[in-house]
Amino acid sequence: MFEEKKPKDAKCVQLYGSRIVLSNFQKKDLDATYISWLNDPEVVRYSNQRFSQHSLESCERYRRTFKGAGNHFLSVQRTDNQCKIGTVTAYINPYHRTAGLGILIGDKSVWGCGYGIDAWMTLVDWVEGVHSVRKITAGALSLNKPMIKILEKSGFHLEAVRRKQEVYRGVPEDIALYAKFV
């Protein structure tokens, strides 16, 4: 279960998991480390980010798309050493009461250590509790076994498969679409 601490700015989000904190991705978070994650072929190998070369300017444009949109772009930080390790996103549709979530753990040194599931569950719990959604969705290239594991471990169920939807290293691959009804 997440713990939300209310900062002075009501629009500021700060959520605590067991080992991570999620907070609004700020302009100060646009640093060489973050940009290097997006340009690292291994980090983005299952993401469509692999087709783009990212810069400070392109990342700032993306960050600005969240201003006033009702969606959330959050930094993932370890609580033990305050190091940033990734980002999460929540696209909220208030009309349909749905949310689409995403995660990127860019710091490869923490892969497989449980930070991803902690960040994911913290985000899911918060979206369920605060945004009055009825359904949360996420998708992953079927080859992305770590993400599939996170989805299944967090109570998401396979809703559909888009057969041979995307090309990965020259081979058409499936996209697995997952959902959790609240």
- Mapped onto helix, strand or coil, the DSSP state of residue 5 is coil
Task: Give the number of other Cβ atoms within 10 Å of residue 140's Cβ.
Answer: 22
Domains and CATH numbers, the chain: 3-134 (3.40.630.30)
Rounded Cα gap, residues 151 and 157, in angstroms: 8
pTM summary value: 0.92
Q: Is the pLDDT of residue 9 over 60?
A: no
Helix (H, G, I), strand (E, B) or coil at 177: strand
Residues in CB range of 132: below 8 A, 6 or more apart: 97
pLDDT tens sequence across 56-71: 999 999 999 999 889 9
DSSP string, 82-133: --EEEEEEEEEETTTTEEEEEEEE--GGGTTTTHHHHHHHHHHHHHHHHS--
Sign of CA dihedral 18, 24, 30, 36: positive
pLDDT band at 10 (very low <50, low <70, confident <90, very high): very low
pLDDT higher at 118 or 9: 118
**pLDDT tens column, 107-127:** 999 999 999 999 999 999 999
Mean of all residue pLDDT scores within the chain: 94
CA distances to 67, 149, 153, 178 from 158, rounded to whole Å, are 31, 11, 12, 4
Q: Is the pLDDT of residue 147 over 90?
A: yes
